Amino acid sequence: MNRKSLTRKIITAPYTLWMSIFVLVPIGLVVYYALTDADGHFTLRNLTAIADYGKTFAISLELALISTVICLLLAFPVAYTISRMQAHKQSTMVMLVMLPMWMNFLIRTYAWMTILEGNGLINRFVRMLGGEGFNMINTNGAVVLGMVYNFLPYMILPIYTVLTKIEKSTIEAAQDLGANRIHVFRRILLPMSVPGIISGITMVFVPAVSTFVISKLLGGGKTFLIGDIIENFFLGNTGTVDYNIGAALSLVLMILILVSMAIMNHFDKDESAGGIM
C-alpha cells in the first residue's frame, strides 16, 4: 500500500465509522426486526401484515405527490424571479426563503394550528367581515398546506441554484431569434433546470411521504399517514407496541423512497445526456 492510499484511508476513516454507526447499523436493525418475530425467529408475517395498511400507504403517497406538485408550481417562478435579480438582492431573497427554516419545525407547525383552528386568525378575520368562518384544521387540505409550507424552501433552493447558471445572453439570443416567452420556457429554461427540479422533487417528496408530525398536528388524527402508524408501533401511542411490524413498515417505506429516488436520478441522467431539446 503506497503512502497516498494510506493517507486517503486515514482521512476517510472517521466518515466510514460515522456511516457504519449511524446509517448501516440502524438499517441492519430495521431489517432484522422486520424479518423476525418477538422471539427472534425468522418470519415473513410482518411483511405480509403490511397489506392491512395499503390504504394508508395510498393516502400518504397521494398527499405527498400533491404537496410536491404544489411546491414545484410555486417554487419555479419564485426561483426564476430571484435568479434574474441583481447579486446583492439575490442574497437577501435567498435569506428570506431560508428564514423560516431557522425556526424549529414543531413551532412552525404549531403556528399553523393557531392560524387554521376554529377560533384562529383566518376565521377571526372572516367573522370581522361578517362571515361565519369555516373548518380548515383537521383536514387533508391542512396537512397538504403544512407540507407545502415546511418543505417549499427545499424545492426553491435547488431550482434557484440551477437557474443562476443560465446566462442571460442565452435567453436574449433565443428572443433575438424569434422565441417568445413560452418557447424560452419550454426550450431553454425547463430543460436546463431539470437537475434542480429533480433534486427539489426528491427533497420534498421524501420527507412528505414519511412525515407524521404534520398529519398529527394539522390532521388531528383524522388524516392518518404511514409515518403515524410506524410511530404508534414503536412508541405505543395507541396501546400497542410492535417493533417487528413497525420495522417492516419502515423497511417498505425505505424501499419505496429509494425506488422513487432511483427513478428521479434516471430521468436526471437522461436529461443531462440529452441536453436542450
Q: Which long-range contacts (CB under 8 A, 24 or more apart) does 106-113 make?
A: 106/213, 106/217, 108/149, 108/150, 109/146, 109/150, 109/213, 109/214, 109/217, 109/218, 110/217, 112/142, 112/145, 112/146, 112/149, 112/217, 112/218, 113/137, 113/217, 113/218
What is the rounded distance in angstroms from the CA atom of residue 151 to the CA atom of residue 105? 10
User: pLDDT over 70 for what percent of the chain?
Assistant: 94
Strands (E), 143-200: none
Q: What pLDDT score was predicted for residue 275?
A: 45
- Give the chain's mean pLDDT: 88
Kindly state the cell numbers that stand for 27: 438499517
pLDDT in tens, 34-46: 999 989 999 999 9
Q: What pLDDT score was predicted for residue 277?
A: 37
274 pLDDT exceeds 60? no
What is the rounded distance in angstroms from the CA atom of residue 142 to the CA atom of residue 165? 36
What is the rounded distance in angstroms from the CA atom of residue 59 to the CA atom of residue 41? 32
60 pLDDT exceeds 60? yes
Kindly state the cell numbers that stand for 116: 387554521
What is the rounded distance in angstroms from the CA atom of residue 88 to the CA atom of residue 98? 16
Q: Which of 227-236, 245-254, 258-267 has the lowest mean pLDDT?
A: 258-267
Kindly state the cell numbers that stand for 8: 486517503
Q: What pLDDT score was predicted for residue 276?
A: 42
Confidence of residue 271 (pLDDT cuts 50, 70, 90): low
The DSSP call for residue 36 is B
